[in-house]
Each structure stands twice: as structure tokens, then as C-alpha cells.
Amino acid sequence: MDTQHLQAFVAIAESGSFSAAAERLHLTQPAISKRIALLEEQLKSPLFDRIGRQVALTHAGQVLLSKATLILSEVTAAQRAIADLKGEVEGKLSIATSHHVGLHYLPPYLREFSKQFPQVKLDLHFLDSEQAYHEILQGRFDLAIITLALEQDARLQSHNLWHDQLHFVAAPTHPLTAQSYLQLADLSQHPAIMPDTNTYTTQLVSNLFVTQNAALNIGMVSNHLDTIKMLLSIGLGWGILPKRILDNQLTILDVVHEPIMRPLGCIHHKQRSLNNAAKMFLQLLHKENHSITPTASQ
């Protein structure tokens, strides 16, 4: 089977449409359709049911999908292993990162890496940490640099790189800013603006409220911390944000609690061999180099 035909098949299966797959692979839709037609002719079985503009895998397609994903993964691994035998740092480095880490921590490292290894093509994707975690488990990226999960999957290798200290904050005009020695139960009386409840950050905060038998009253949700910062700054609620992005638009609330530290770091799949580019990037992340510091909040 031609790997290009398998790539087209997997792209359609994952995206749910021929047009989305064509865009993903930078091909025309007729080119994608031709590849699938040739693959179906070779296998003598239809792989997709066409339902309007959407497609669904046939039983044969379902059988092929897991095999095709494995084949493509092995082909990529073989190509990378042969290239790495030369000892050169080149090829593509695919990285998934959260918006917060990507905007406030990674820029100096990406800049230094691209300066040292200009022949490497950086393939950067901004995803929620939880989605990036899932993508790494599926073997779709070399590295993910994200908020680390509270419980790590045994299939992943984790590198703890930084700690985000989180603070309870609100607009200077919010009634909570006028009170001292706040308990978590006091915060329960006012709506919070938080990331989605399935995010690692909100799970961390929720666990803290549970230990004090207090209710976490979430009134609004956004997974982008800079969006939460804006909503808080206009007085729509209280929230919890990393110290790095705080400024005079927000006031740190006087809440009695243990420091809340959110671990940030890098993960990769243990069964996916890292190419030279990924190894060098990891080495750069770990490097004790005072000239490379995370981007400060503006």
C-alpha cells in the first residue's frame, strides 16, 4: 500500500471530511478523492460511507484505521532513525503547547533553538493541555509542553520544568478586595471565572475547596487565561491566575490558604523514539542558562 494513500485515509478518518483532510495535507479535494479511490480499488472494499458532506468509516475502514496508523507511525520512526544515524539535527520537530506556556515560557527557548538549529522545521500547535496530553498518547507529536496532569499516565515520560504560582485575584473594585483573612467559604458567595472543570488547573483548585468543605461557585468558563484576566479586570467575578500574568488591573485577594503551585513541563511517549531535534530541544529546556529566561508579563 502506498503511504500517501494511507495518509489521506487517516486524515479523512480523523477530520470527518474529505475537504478538511485536503486542507490538512495541503492537497486539492480531487487529489484526496483519487487516493482513496485507488486504495479502495486495491483493497476491493469501500472504506467510507458518504453521508451528505460527512463521511463515516465502513467496517473495513474501521479495521484498516488502526493498522494504517501503526504503519505510518513505523514508517516515520524508520525515517527518523535513519536520519539520526548521521548525527545531524534536522527534519521536523512537532510540539504541542498550551497558550499560556507557549506565550509566556517558550519564546526564548524557541528563539534559541531556531538560532542553533536553523535546519530544523518547527511545527508548533497551540492546544489545551488536556488535548495535548491526549495527542501525545496517540503519538501525534514529538513533545508537549503543558500544565502537567495531576496523575501521570505510565506510558508517558514527564519532565517537570517550571512551577506557576497561582493567586486568587479580582478587579480592584470587587467587594472581596475590601476584606482581609478571607476563607474559601467567603469566595463561595461570589461567582468565579475559571477554566473548564476538566482542566488540570480547575481540578487543582477544586481539590483545594473540597479539603475545606467549601463550594467552588463557577459562573463563567474560559480555557484561555488571558481571556479570564480580561473578564476579571472588568469586575465579572474572582478567579485564580498565575503570578506571571498579573498586573495593576487585578488585586491579589487576602485568602488564607497554602501556596498553590501548578507544575508545568514537557511530556513525550515512552514508546516513541525521540529524534535528534527533540533530544536537543529537551536538553535546551533543561539547560541551566541564565541568558534564557521565561518571557515576563508585559
pLDDT-derived band at 86, boundaries 50, 70, 90: low
- Give a yes or no: residue 295 inside a domain: no
Least confident of 3-17, 31-45, 65-79, 245-259: 65-79
Residues 19-53: pLDDT tens digits?
Answer: 888 888 888 989 999 999 999 999 999 999 887 77
3-state secondary structure of 10: helix
Output the nine-digit C-alpha cell for 219. Answer: 459562573
- Give a yes or no: residue 291 inside a domain: no
**H or E element at residue 50:** strand 48-51
Least confident of 18-27, 152-161, 164-173, 183-192: 18-27
- 71: region left, alpha or beta (phi > 0 left; psi from -120 to 50 alpha): alpha
**Are 59 and 173 part of one and the same domain?**
no
- DSSP sequence for 238-281: BEEEEGGG--TTSEE--B----EEEEEEEEEETTS---HHHHHH
Residue with cell 480555557: 223
Task: Report the CATH number that the domain containing residue 33 is assigned in CATH.
Answer: 1.10.10.10
How many Å apart are CA 12 and CA 33, to the nearest integer?
10
Output the nine-digit C-alpha cell for 10. Answer: 487517516
Provide the domain count of the chain: 3
N-to-C CA span, the chain: 52
| Max avg pLDDT among 28-42, 73-87, 276-290 | 28-42
Residue 180 burial by Cβ neighbours in a 10 Å radius (0-12, 13-18, 19+)? exposed
Q: What is the mean pLDDT of residues 181-192?
A: 96
Task: Report the CATH number that the domain containing residue 236 is assigned in CATH.
Answer: 3.40.190.290
Confidence check: pLDDT of 298 > 60: no
pTM for this entry: 0.71
- Give a yes or no: residue 34 inside a domain: yes
How many Å apart are CA 120 and CA 281, to the nearest integer?
11
Give the model's pLDDT for residue 74.
76
Q: Which domain holds residue 174?
A: 163-262
How many Å apart are CA 140 and CA 148, to the nearest integer?
18
Give the model's pLDDT for residue 204.
92
Mind spelling out the 3-state secondary structure of 192-203?
EEECCCCCHHHH
| Residue 59: HSE in the Cβ half-sphere, 13 Å Cα cutoff | 0
How far is residue 259 from each of residues 56, 171, 238, measured CA to CA in Å?
Answer: 49, 21, 17
Q: For residues 44-54, b (16+ Cβ closer than 10 Å) or e, as one string?
A: eeebbeeeeee
Domain boundary among 44, 65, 84: 84
